[in-house]
Amino acid sequence: MTPLKYLILVVALSICGPAVAQQAVVSFIKKVGEKIDSMTVKGVDPNYIVAPEKPWQVILRGNVKQTVVSMDCQGNMLGIDYNAEPYLKTTPSQYLGLWVGYRGYGLGYTVNVSGDKGSNFTFGATGGSYGVNLRIRSFENSNPDFNLNSDILNESDLETWNDVQLTDPIKVKTVIADAYYLFNGKKCSYAAAYDQSVIQKRSAGSLMAGLMYNYTRIDYASDSNGDLVYLMDGLGKVKLWQGSAGVGYAYNWVPARGLLVNVMFMPMLTFVNRLKAYGYTTNVLDLMADPFFWDPDTTDEEWDECFYGNVHITPAGDMTFNSGLSLGYDARMSLTYNFDRFYINAYGQFNNIRYHHKNTSGYLNDWFINTSLGFRF
pLDDT tens digits along 199-228? 999 999 999 999 999 898 889 898 888 877
Q: How far is CA 175 from the centre of its chain?
A: 6
Give the number of other CB atoms < 10 A from CB of residue 244. 26
Report the C-alpha dihedral over residues 276, 176, 253, 42, rounded to 10 degrees: -120
In this prediction the pTM is 0.70
pLDDT of residue 9: 47
- Of the listed ranges 53-67, 110-124, 303-317, the one predicted with least confidence: 110-124
d(CA 175, CA 307): 36
d(CA 233, CA 217): 18
Is residue 77 pLDDT above 60, yes or no?
A: no
Better-scored residue on pLDDT, 158 or 197: 197
Q: What average pLDDT does the chain have?
A: 77
pLDDT band at 152 (very low <50, low <70, confident <90, very high): very low
d(CA 326, CA 362): 11
Closest CA to 241 of 323, 121, 362, 118: 323
Q: How far is CA 213 from the centre of its chain?
A: 11
| Residues 188 and 206 sit within 8 Å (Cβ to Cβ) | yes
- Give, in order, the Cα–Cα distances in Å from 325 to each of 174, 242, 268, 292, 322: 20, 10, 10, 48, 9
Q: Percentage of the chain with pLDDT > 90?
A: 18
